[in-house]
């Protein structure tokens, strides 16, 4: 029984409120794994290549699963998240050695996952990624879960019509930068907000009609009034709170608000209330919460269309990729402070093919 070193991103302590801190709530710990151990019926052994740092990971840090898709992280155990990996060994007819796999797994260098894991059925074999000529990391970013979220949320929930005005918050992030660019492909006027001047400059560069640094405006409502003189038809909400109230103030009649996330509230001690829902009635605004998995039936259409745009250079996509699993805890924690520029991922290892 040979033990191989196996670093894990480990949950140290639940956080009911406030920001997660490296070393206190989450950290990378040394562990080992026996790569020769026999696999249970249906299980596979994966070698992880890329880890995705995602805002949803704040939710299972709370130690309870109320109001969330996600079961809590267990203290002292590796956390789970979205990864790109390849199959080292398989005891499952569906998976072959060297298959490229994308989905939710434990975050560690090597991991075993089998049918008893609630996320097992979500694992996708993405072998086309080996030969697509596109970066492997795209499988968890523009061509993965954040990309699907942008595409399904804007198209299925937002139901855009050419010429309408779209506002998207956290617009330079993993989801937001694609939302805005899909909006442009569909003939919308696109306005975005982000938390630094560099991010705002990037938004202009990739074709947003207007963009602003929300940290430098005294009133998001007034800024939106200026930048959206015809009002907002679609607000793609990544942030909640003040951004959502300001978008309601500026919404047109029959506006659609795909509610994707509310990252401004994930680490606050007091739940922030939205005070202007009264405007939903005279304006006939629709707020629709959604999860990316509600629309997996449209994933093939998504992959085809977005891959096409990437290859034709019609859209761009910015990622920040940390250089090793040792940086995983910091990378996750940093997204809640907006330190990521574009999609934040972590490189772990190269595939063997």
Ligand X SMILES: NC(=O)c1ccc[n+]([C@@H]2O[C@H](COP(=O)([O-])OP(=O)(O)OC[C@H]3O[C@@H](n4cnc5c(N)ncnc54)[C@H](OP(=O)(O)O)[C@@H]3O)[C@@H](O)[C@H]2O)c1
Over the window 8 to 47, marking each residue x when it contacts ligand X by CB under 6 A and - when it does not, the resulting string is ----------------------------------------
Could you tell me the two tokens for 28?
Answer: 């990378």
d(CA 201, CA 103): 32
Residues whose CB falls within 8 Å of the CB of residue 283, separated by 6 or more in sequence, listed in order: 248, 251, 252, 253, 254, 255
Residue 69 in the binding site for a second copy (CB under 8 A): yes
Beta strand pairing status for 124-125 and 100-106?
A: antiparallel
Give the H/E segment covering residue 180.
helix 176-185
DSSP string, 34-81: -TTSPPPTT-EEEEEEEEE--GGGGGGGGS--TTSSSPPPPTTSB-EE
Q: Give just the sign of the alpha carbon dihedral 78, 83, 85, 91.
A: positive
List binders of ligand X among 174-233 (CB under 6 A).
174-176, 194-196, 199
Q: Hey, is 245 helix, strand or coil?
A: helix
Among 288, 304, 326, 350, binds a second copy (CB under 8 A): 288
Task: For the CB of residue 55, give the shortest distance to a second copy in the complex, in Å.
Answer: 11
- Pair 210, 166: CB distance under 8 Å: no
Q: Which of 83, 121, 164, 98 lies closest to 296, judged by CA?
A: 121
Residue 114 in tokens = 């089998």
Among ligand X, a second copy, none, the one that 93 touches (CB under a kind-dependent 5 to 8 A) is: none
Closest CB 154 distance from ligand X, rounded Å: 12
Of 9, 15, 220, 260, the one binding ligand X (CB under 6 A) is 260
Per-residue binding string, a second copy, 39-68, x by CB under 8 A, is: ----------------------------xx
**Residues 41-80 contacting ligand X, CB under 6 A:** 54-56
Stretch that binds ligand X, among 26-34, 39-47, 171-179, 345-353 (CB under 6 A): 171-179
Which of 13, 130, 186, 283 is the binder for a second copy (CB under 8 A)? 283
Residue whose CB is less far from a second copy, 67 or 313: 67
Determine the length of the chain: 353
260 in Cβ contact with 240 (< 8 Å): no
Alpha carbons 56 and 72: distance in angstroms, whole number? 11
Q: Does residue 83 sit in helix, strand or coil?
A: strand
- When the beta carbons of 167 and 202 are compared against a second copy, the nearer one is 167
DSSP class of 123: -
Least Å distance, CB 145 to a second copy, is 14
Spatial contact of 134 and 307, defined as CB atoms under 8 Å apart? yes
Show the binding pattern over residues 250-279: x = contacts a second copy (CB under 8 A), - = does not.
---------xxxx--x-----xxxxxxxxx
Q: Which of 281, 297, 313, 323 binds a second copy (CB under 8 A)?
A: 281
Residue 173 or residue 319: which is nearer to a second copy going by CB?
173
* Part in contact with ligand X (CB under 6 A); list of ranges 128-136, 225-233, 287-295, 312-320: 287-295
Q: Which does 286 bind (CB under 5 to 8 A by kind): ligand X, a second copy, none?
A: a second copy
Please, what is the minimum distance in Å from the beta carbon of residue 105 to ligand X?
Answer: 17
| Helix 299-311 × helix 145-152 angle, to 10° | 100
Report in angstroms how near the CB of residue 15 gets to ligand X at its nearest: 15
319 binds ligand X (CB under 6 A): no
DSSP structural state of residue 43: -
Site string for ligand X, 133-162 (x = CB under 6 A): -------------x--x-------------
Question: Residue 106 or 172: which CB sits closer to ligand X?
Answer: 172
Contact 225, 250 (CB under 8 A): yes
Residues contributing to the site for a second copy (CB under 8 A): 67-69, 240, 244, 259-262, 265, 271-291, 294
């Amino acid at each position: 029984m040979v033990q191989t070193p196996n670093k894990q991103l480990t949950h140290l302590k639940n956080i009911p409120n406030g920001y997660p801190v490296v070393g206190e709530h989450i950290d990378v710990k040394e562990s080992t794994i026996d790569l020769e151990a026999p696999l249970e019926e249906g299980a596979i052994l994966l070698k992880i290549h890329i880890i995705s740092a995602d805002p949803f990971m704040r939710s299972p840090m709370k130690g309870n699963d109320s109001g969330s898709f996600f079961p809590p992280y267990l203290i002292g155990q590796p956390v789970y998240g979205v990864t790109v990996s390849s199959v080292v060994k398989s005891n499952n007819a569906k998976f072959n050695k060297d298959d490229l796999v994308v989905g939710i797994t434990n975050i560690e260098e090597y991991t075993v996952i089998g049918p008893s894991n609630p996320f097992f059925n979500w694992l996708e074999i993405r072998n086309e990624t080996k030969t697509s000529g596109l970066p492997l990391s795209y499988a968890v970013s523009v061509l993965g879960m954040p990309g699907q979220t942008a595409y399904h949320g804007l198209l299925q929930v937002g139901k855009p019509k050419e010429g309408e005005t779209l506002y998207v918050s956290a617009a330079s992030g993993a989801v937001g930068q694609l939302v805005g660019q899909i909006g442009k492909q569909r003939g919308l006027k696109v306005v975005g907000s982000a938390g630094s001047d560099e991010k705002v400059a990037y938004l202009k560069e990739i074709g947003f009609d207007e963009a602003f640094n929300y940290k430098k405006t005294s009133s998001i409502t007034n800024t939106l009034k200026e930048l959206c003189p015809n009002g907002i038809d679609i607000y793609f909400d990544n942030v909640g709170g003040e951004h959502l109230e300001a978008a309601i103030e500026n919404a047109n009649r029959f506006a659609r608000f795909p509610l994707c996330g509310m990252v401004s509230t994930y680490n606050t001690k007091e739940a922030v209330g939205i005070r202007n829902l009264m405007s939903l009635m005279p304006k006939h605004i629709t707020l629709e919460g959604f999860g990316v998995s509600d629309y997996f039936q449209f994933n093939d259409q998504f992959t085809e269309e977005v891959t096409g745009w990437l290859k034709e250079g019609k859209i761009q996509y910015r990622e920040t990729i940390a250089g090793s699993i040792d940086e995983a805890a910091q990378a996750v924690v940093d997204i809640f402070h907006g330190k990521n520029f574009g999609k934040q991922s972590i490189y772990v290892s190269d595939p063997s093919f």
